Amino acid sequence: RYWMNLTPSDIMWNTSDTGWAKSAYGSVFAPWICGSCVFVHHMPQFKPEVIAETLSRYPITTFCTAPTAFRMLVQHDVSSYKFLSLKHCVTGGEALNPEVFEKWKIQTGLVIHEGYGQTETVCL
């Protein structure tokens, strides 16, 4: 509830492939526990323009994707899209460059919250 900022009125979109544990945590367990709706979009290949169009077309409130995807999105320049419902963005895994955080904030007005999960904490 706190990490993904989910409530029963939220719609969560996690772009993680179902072969990753992040899919279970971000697309099933967290939204399920919070009573949130899960948005599912079949995308055989990642395309920044499809992600941007989807975020602007549907009332997704919480968006989770890999740092590499955020890099691709800001390189595409999403400033011409309007994400009217989006209020919370999260990422995890590899480190996200400070430039991407800054560009995302400039292009969307939103902050990316970066964390790490069970995959990254095996050594701990």
| 10-residue averages of pLDDT along the chain (124 residues) | 89 84 75 93 91 97 94 96 97 89 97 79 64
Residue 1 is assigned to a structural domain of this protein? no
- Angle at Cα 47 formed by Cα 23 and Cα 92, nearest 5°? 35
Q: What is the pLDDT of residue 121?
A: 65
Residue 5 is assigned to a structural domain of this protein? no
Q: What is the pLDDT of residue 58?
A: 98
CB 72 within 8 A of CB 46: yes
Residue 75 is assigned to a structural domain of this protein? yes
Residue 26 is assigned to a structural domain of this protein? yes
Integer Cα distance of 22 and 32 in angstroms: 14
Which structural domain range is residue 30 located in?
Answer: 11-123
pTM for this one?
0.90
**DSSP category for residue 51:** H
Amino acid at 36: S
The CATH number of residue 85's host domain is 3.40.50.980
Of 97, 106, 103, nearest in space to 114 by CA: 97
3-state class (DSSP) for residue 65? coil
CB 96 within 8 A of CB 102: no
Integer Cα distance of 39 and 61 in angstroms: 10
The residues pairing with 123 across neighbouring beta strands, listed in sequence order, are: none
Residue 4 is assigned to a structural domain of this protein? no
Domain count, the chain: 1
Residue 17 is assigned to a structural domain of this protein? yes
